[in-house]
Amino acid sequence: MTDIEFKTDMEFAYATPRELAPGVVRFVANNPSVFTFKGTNTYIVGTDDLAIIDPGPTDDAHLEAILKHIGGRTVSHIVVTHTHRDHVDGLDKMATATKAKVCGYGRNEGNQGALVNPFGTEYIDDNFNPDMVLHDGDKVSGSNWTLEALFTPGHAPDHLCFAFPEQKVMFSGDHVMGWNTTVVAPPEGSMSAYMASLEKLIGRSDTVFFPGHGGQIPDPQRMVRGYMVHRNWREQAILGAVRDGHTTITDVVAKVYKGLDERLINAASLSVQAHVDYLIEKSLITCDGPTDFTCELTAV
């Protein structure tokens, strides 16, 4: 599948500010991995009084560099795209240091306890308790910036993107990234929510997206459409595999992801499970019980 042109070049140095647009500075935290690419991006918005988007992980050098860059300026808000640990573990220290108001959607429903990612690491901060709860369309603003929340669940049930209309840019969090596809893995992720959240971005006039990981996305509408095509193609391939007699998720993964690296099989299986859940919602597949990797699937 080569319909998406991933952008994996990224100019940056850890603990170093990089101005990406007027009033947008990026720091990259030093937590590289297969999920986080070079690390989590933290953005500073504004020029006089400021907002911070996603504090990132616990990384003292990252925090210190950001505080040094801020200098004597006021940080009025810290906004959070979602409560995966690589985005919020550094929150408490940053909020204490800046005295900023913490804003985010919050995990007010469906708290699922200690969820682990496909590589076995606990990755959600269930204790996130924002000073200001943001819902779709809510705004926070400063002297020359506005951040408008767009509720975009799918990767996480509490995910927000933030539009910065003064610069026609959007902070897309982990919903749309240029370096790789977004992880959509149940029970945390939902494919139907994710697809609806992609659809929600179609027709917007932002000229660039700044994601939670990786470099900027200069042609965001093309990227969003590319992801929609990619997931629709994957869904058809999965449906086709079930119709051809591959009736468990494990079988479907073997068919659809031929020659996949062993270490990625669990992640691929969760992604297929997300697609299967969506196909069940659309009444295109039935399952003989709750979906897991070995339940028996039937195409309708």
For Zn ion, the nearest residue by Cβ is 84
Query: Do residues 249 and 268 make contact, with C-beta atoms less than 8 angstroms apart?
Result: no
Total number of residues that touch Zn ion (CB under 5 A)? 2
Residues 75-114 that bind Zn ion (CB under 5 A): 84
The residues facing 133 across adjacent strands are 104
Strands 169-173 and 132-133: unpaired
Nearer to Zn ion, 6 or 49 (CB): 6
235 part of the interface to Zn ion, by CB under 5 A: no
Residues 245-284 that bind Zn ion (CB under 5 A): none
The residues facing 44 across adjacent strands are 25, 52
Would you state the structure tokens that stand for residue 71, as one six-digit string?
A: 């200098």
Nearer to Zn ion, 28 or 241 (CB): 28
Q: Give, in order, the Cα–Cα distances in Å from 120 to each of 25, 84, 117, 157, 263.
A: 33, 14, 5, 20, 12
Query: Do residues 184 and 155 make contact, with C-beta atoms less than 8 angstroms apart?
Result: yes
Residues 281-300 that bind Zn ion (CB under 5 A): none
Of residues 174, 188, 235, 277, which one binds Zn ion by CB under 5 A?
174
In whole angstroms, how close is the CB of 247 to Zn ion at the nearest point? 31
In whole angstroms, how close is the CB of 286 to Zn ion at the nearest point? 31
Beta strands in 23-86 (DSSP E): 24-28, 41-45, 50-53, 75-79
Nearer to Zn ion, 46 or 189 (CB): 189
Residues that bind Zn ion (CB under 5 A): 84, 174
